[in-house]
């Protein structure tokens, strides 16, 4: 993972994903310079998470989409878009929760904590269910975090029963959508200038050249 994290980008997609990380660092500077504790905390957590896809070596499209979704979610807090735009929070929860669930599944498989698709009898169905469950779990944690922020940090954070259930449902829907394409998202980016054959990853993971028969 360290080697993947430190490798130089070799494609336009990888360079774009790294540009998103640079944008995150610039956003962090702006947030620290002009906003309060809540905004700085949200931006700091989002920017810190941007290194995860780099270390996992996921596809550039997933890498960049994950980073942009987190930055949009953080900037929506900074700019107060959740309170000024009706249902904007549902859009953000659907997209960002789905991408977070997808990245979480990649991480769990790479760490060997969840069986990889090659070891599953029905990989597409199994990954869709696991990703959805992971996304709903994260959505619940997200809502607990919002409640804690409202209770102990900033009373202006909007928390209601209806809002909480709607956010969890939206996040679950996004996670289901991500789960339906997880067999594609799970593949590592294909490295250019490979100098040695691909090596299979233990615990059910696989390299970019591995294939499976599907359901």
Contact indicator for 106, 185 with CB cutoff of 8 Å: yes
Tell me, yes or no, whether 72 and 84 share the same domain: no
Number of structural domains found in the chain: 2
Question: Residue 1 domain-assigned?
Answer: no
Kind plus residue range of the DSSP H or E element containing 52: helix 51-56
Tell me, yes or no, whether 68 and 127 share the same domain: no
What pLDDT band is residue 202 in, cutting at 50, 70 and 90?
A: very low
Question: Residue 25 domain-assigned?
Answer: yes
DSSP-assigned states of every residue in 65-122: HHHHHHHHHHHHHHTTHHHHSTTHHHHHHHHHHHHHHHHHHHHHHHTTSS--GGG-SS
Tell me, yes or no, whether 22 and 105 share the same domain: no
Q: Is the pLDDT of residue 62 over 50?
A: yes
Domain end: 76, 102, 126, which one? 76
Domain span at residue 68 reads: 12-76
CA–CA separation, 156 vs 153, rounded Å? 9
Question: Residue 178 domain-assigned?
Answer: yes
Question: Residue 196 domain-assigned?
Answer: no
Name the range with the highest mean pLDDT among 92-106, 113-127, 157-171, 179-193: 92-106
Q: Which residue has better confidence, 129 or 155?
A: 129
Q: What is the pLDDT of residue 213?
A: 40
């Amino acid at each position: 993972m360290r080697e993947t994290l430190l490798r130089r980008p070799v494609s336009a997609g990888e360079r774009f994903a790294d540009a998103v990380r640079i944008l995150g660092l610039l956003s962090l500077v702006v947030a620290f310079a002009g906003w309060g504790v809540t905004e700085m905390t949200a931006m700091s957590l989002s920017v810190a998470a941007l290194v995860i896809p780099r270390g996992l070596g996921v596809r550039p499209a997933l890498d960049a989409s994950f980073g942009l979704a987190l930055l949009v979610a953080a900037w929506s807090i900074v700019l107060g878009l959740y309170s000024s735009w009706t249902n904007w929070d549902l859009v953000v929860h659907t997209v960002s929760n789905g991408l977070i669930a997808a990245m979480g599944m990649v991480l769990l498989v790479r760490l060997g904590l969840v069986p990889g698709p090659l070891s599953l009898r029905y990989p597409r169905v199994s990954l869709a269910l696991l990703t959805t469950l992971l996304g709903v779990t994260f959505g619940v944690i997200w809502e607990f975090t919002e409640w804690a922020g409202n209770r102990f940090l900033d009373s202006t954070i909007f928390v209601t029963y209806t809002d909480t259930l709607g956010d969890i449902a939206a996040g679950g829907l996004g996670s289901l959508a991500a789960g339906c394409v997880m067999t594609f998202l799970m593949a590592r980016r294909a490295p250019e200038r490979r100098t040695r054959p691909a090596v299979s990853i233990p615990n059910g993971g696989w390299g970019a050249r591995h294939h499976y028969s599907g359901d």
